[in-house]
Amino acid sequence: MNRKPANACHILLAEDNEHDIISIQRAFEKNKIVNPLHIVRNGVECLDYLFRRGQYEDPHTSPTPTLVLLDIKMPKMDGITVLRNIRESKEISRMPVIMLTTSKDQNDITESYDLGVNAYIVKPVELENLAEAIKRIELFWQIVEKPPLNI
């Protein structure tokens, strides 16, 4: 990632699998996506980041993300519970969230949409396909209007 845009849209990735983190970072590089990618490795860290708790309380080092890429199967707290907490929060209930997960479980898909996820994407296994999925996510979020947050 060469340089950061002046009005950078920060992306928060909640992912516990190191291989998937590296693959997503490579997909960002391959597509020349310069948006800063912040990584948390479990659901509790994700909520700490979003609500500026503990090590994430400094807005300069932990800026409010424009988009959350959220895995479902994570330790400490799963992505469905994280999504529920986001949607129940007055401050960040409108924050765009994309489930980016390996789960094809219909219950996970249904519950995610019932809780207001903006999109549900099953992570492709092949790096080329993952890079294409990341490219499409980035293109989509370039053209849509983002909701204001109550922060």
Kindly state whether residue 149 falls inside one of the protein's structural domains.
no
What residues make up the domain containing 33? 11-133
What pLDDT shows up at residue 4?
45
Kindly state whether residue 145 falls inside one of the protein's structural domains.
no
Kindly state whether residue 63 falls inside one of the protein's structural domains.
yes
CATH number at residue 72: 3.40.50.2300
Please tell me whether residue 72 adopts helix, strand or coil conformation.
coil
What pLDDT shows up at residue 126?
84
Kindly state whether residue 52 falls inside one of the protein's structural domains.
yes
The neighbouring-strand residues paired with 97 are 68
Query: Into how many domains does the chain fold?
Result: 1
Side-chain half-sphere CA neighbours of 41 within 13 A: 6
CB 71 within 8 A of CB 97: no
Of 122, 56, 110, 47, nearest to 83 by C-alpha is 47
Show the 3-state SS of 66-80. Answer: CEEEECCCCCCCCHH
What pLDDT shows up at residue 131?
86
Kindly state whether residue 4 falls inside one of the protein's structural domains.
no
Kindly state whether residue 90 falls inside one of the protein's structural domains.
yes
pLDDT tens, N- to C-terminus, the chain (151 residues): 344 444 568 999 999 999 999 999 999 999 998 889 999 999 999 999 999 999 999 999 999 999 999 999 999 999 999 999 999 999 999 999 999 999 999 999 999 999 999 999 999 888 788 888 888 888 887 777 777 777 7
What pLDDT shows up at residue 104?
94
Kindly state whether residue 54 falls inside one of the protein's structural domains.
yes
Kindly state whether residue 146 falls inside one of the protein's structural domains.
no
What pLDDT shows up at residue 124?
84
